[in-house]
Amino acid sequence: MSNKKLVLNSLIPGIIAAMLILALVFVGLSNSNNNIILAQRSFGPFGENRFYMFGMISSVQNDNSGKPAWILTGFWKTNLLNQTQTNIANTSAGAVFNTSFKMIMTNGSGMHTHTITNLVLKNKSMPNNSTVIFNGTATVSLKNGPVTDVPISIKIMNNRVISIWLDEAKVNNHFGNTPIFGVIFMHDKGPPKMGIPIR
């Protein structure tokens, strides 16, 4: 293996760890009690100026024996909090949840990318004052190509954390037996300062 590849392979786990730490620090610093307010300006990797929320995937997924095996990191965007019951009944209303994230083993090997797109929202519920749940189906990219109509449940908790549950059978248990977790960029704080332009 060339020196260049060795250096790159040794840097990747450190970069991922730094991103996870940055996400945790960002959540800790974001102590505002404001309700989730959708982004009204462009930030994050998606560059769109609509009523979207943005955030980061920061998750560790277990292997078949229940031990941490994979680190997931990436970005997501959604307009789900804009969806009313009327919009949910009208599937052309345009519910959006998109994410792209890297998945890498905790030893730094096996890095690859996944996406979740084409959300079809079926229902929305609020089991308590701090949790909103959105259920539907989505398309998930896997090694052998996209898998459509995957049942998905997206939870927004305490205005700070998002979890994404995908039907394990439909995705061949690829993401382990736990949800994928992430953090929410708050409107008053914006994203962590990572050289991403804010317009």
- What confidence tens digit (pLDDT) does each residue in 55-97 have? 999 999 998 888 999 999 999 999 887 766 555 555 546 889 9
Question: Taking a C-beta distance cutoff of 8 angstroms, is the pair 118, 146 a contact?
Answer: no
Distance separating alpha carbons of residues 69 and 18, to the nearest angstrom: 18
Q: Is the pLDDT of residue 192 over 60?
A: no
Q: Is the pLDDT of residue 26 over 50?
A: no
3-state helix, strand, coil in the chain (%, to 5): 20, 45, 40
Q: Is the pLDDT of residue 44 over 50?
A: no
Average pLDDT over all residues of the chain: 77
Mean pLDDT of 104-123: 95
